[in-house]
Structure 1
């Protein structure tokens, strides 16, 4: 384990607290097992999933400045376990930090709006960090490997980074936005085998799903088919929205593309937690739409 305790202001987001509660459950189980303390930001608001800015950039910036300020009050980094939340809040943080120098009047406008709601001002004193970055950069892969009690030997995992995690922010820690390796490095640390395929860094189709459902499902289906063709036993994603589109909607995807898929989709904390010996039922793996039984059987569980 790291020589110092890790503690974060935790922003769980909406999907993991609602439609996919198992993702919230598994993040809690993983961080507890690793000795990482999470202080949940219960007063935080939805990041907007990229839709707020369609109406107003100021709206997106103000809502998420408030979320960041809640973490600043605790003098902690804001931790997400959602690529979409990371992309939106992380980009707002970058933009406001840049404008503290280039356009301080804009930041003052944001803070005046926060003051009207009796909220703390945005100061730009913390960081916004996805759980993946925390595992790779703060906890460390060597330390993580030492915590493994159940090596995931023989399990072939296809990473699905999605788009928000990689290309929304100007500065991406610990990885290359066009040829990322952080998820694959986590797979290796827990004993699994990475599977590479074309769609691993592309959009899952979720942003299209409300107005171009068929196209959204075709995108998701294409990625799943590619992963299957490369021999994947499962797809692992760091994003609850990608998880929702690839797992919960996979039966609908199958209808659109006219092909049976049946590929299990795991959220990153679920995979790592399995390697730490945590019971599958404690990770909500029975709650998935696509059965995770093939994964568990391959691991002898």
Structure 2
């Protein structure tokens, strides 16, 4: 029987976590029951567009993501994502359409007409779009999270990398500040790890440039990695799988561009949480990274690298 206090979400895994970063999907599913979360996957949801749909049409971006939100509304649950890009895109659409309910009802009617033509439920603006970071900080709560820690991450120095979309896409940012965020660092401390401050923690990883200005993208990512290394970080922890792709999977190429070895592990937020909750590395997909995570495990007394 489910606990009456269990937190329930309409889970939107997104594209990257079901493909190139499968370990993010794996680790999110692994930590959810330990945090008393029930995830009901939105298997009919579509790609959010990663911010590209609006280059052709704002109406396209709004309609596609109004449908995603409506799927969660049908369950009377908040939409939960673990991708800061998905959060930025879908969350911004949600804000825009909620404003349209009072300021541009004819536009919302146009969106819902398109949804109706496809046999989809209308957007009602009755739920929230929530990144797993906000769910951990705001719904689970840091105090409760701390009580669930069974393997303190003492001795591990973690550098946060927030990603652009999580901080700057929405007008209202829950539980944090868009310029001086602290939510990731607060989670690190709750898990026993030491936050590392460095120049670049709130800047762009370079992913948006990668398809047409690859070298510039790699240099941008290289500067972020070098700054974290110089500050003494054992790893970077990010709530964005696209940032993870650029900083982890492309790190060997970045090192070639920068002309120096980097070898800095990049962890997804649910992986770090899972380590502190006592899950084993294999359960969290820590062997699936391009840059080995063995140095992270070696820093932790309760894990064998």
Q: TM-score, normalised by structure 2?
A: 0.97
Describe how 1:75-90 pairs up with structure 2 within 5 A. Answer: 75-90=76-91
Aligned equivalent of 1:14: 15
Aligned equivalent of 1:202: 203
1:256 Cα deviation from its structure 2 partner: 1.1
Aligned equivalent of 2:56: 55
SS in 1 for 2:123: coil
Deviations for 1:4-26, whole angstroms, at most 9, x for unmatched residues? 22000000000100011111000
Q: Is the 8 A contact 2:238 2:244 kept in 1?
A: yes
For 2:4 and 2:275, the matched residues in 1 are separated by 24
For 1:116 and 1:219, the matched residues in 2 are separated by 44
Structure 1: gaps (5+ residues): none
Deviations for 1:197-226, whole angstroms, at most 9, x for unmatched residues? 110001111111101111111111000000
SS in 1 for 2:201: helix
Deviations for 1:219-253, whole angstroms, at most 9, x for unmatched residues? 11000000000000000000111111100110111
Aligned equivalent of 1:281: 282
For 1:196 and 1:3, the matched residues in 2 are separated by 39
Aligned equivalent of 1:271: 272
For 1:182 and 1:100, the matched residues in 2 are separated by 31
SS in 2 for 1:198: coil
Aligned equivalent of 2:67: 66
For 2:112 and 2:214, the matched residues in 1 are separated by 38
Describe how 1:206-225 pairs up with structure 2 within 5 A. Answer: 206-225=207-226
Aligned equivalent of 2:136: 135
For 2:178 and 2:68, the matched residues in 1 are separated by 25
Structure 2: gaps (5+ residues): none
For 1:25 and 1:282, the matched residues in 2 are separated by 7
For 2:54 and 2:213, the matched residues in 1 are separated by 20
Deviations for 1:128-171, whole angstroms, at most 9, x for unmatched residues? 00000000000000000000000000100000001100010000
Q: Is 2:241 the partner of 1:240?
A: yes
Q: Is 2:231 the partner of 1:226?
A: no
Q: CA RMSD in A?
A: 0.9
Runs of 4+ in 1 over 6 A off after TM superposition: none
Aligned equivalent of 2:162: 161
SS in 2 for 1:200: coil
Q: Is the 8 A contact 2:5 2:36 kept in 1?
A: no
SS in 1 for 2:40: strand
1:3 Cα deviation from its structure 2 partner: 7.6
Aligned equivalent of 2:122: 121
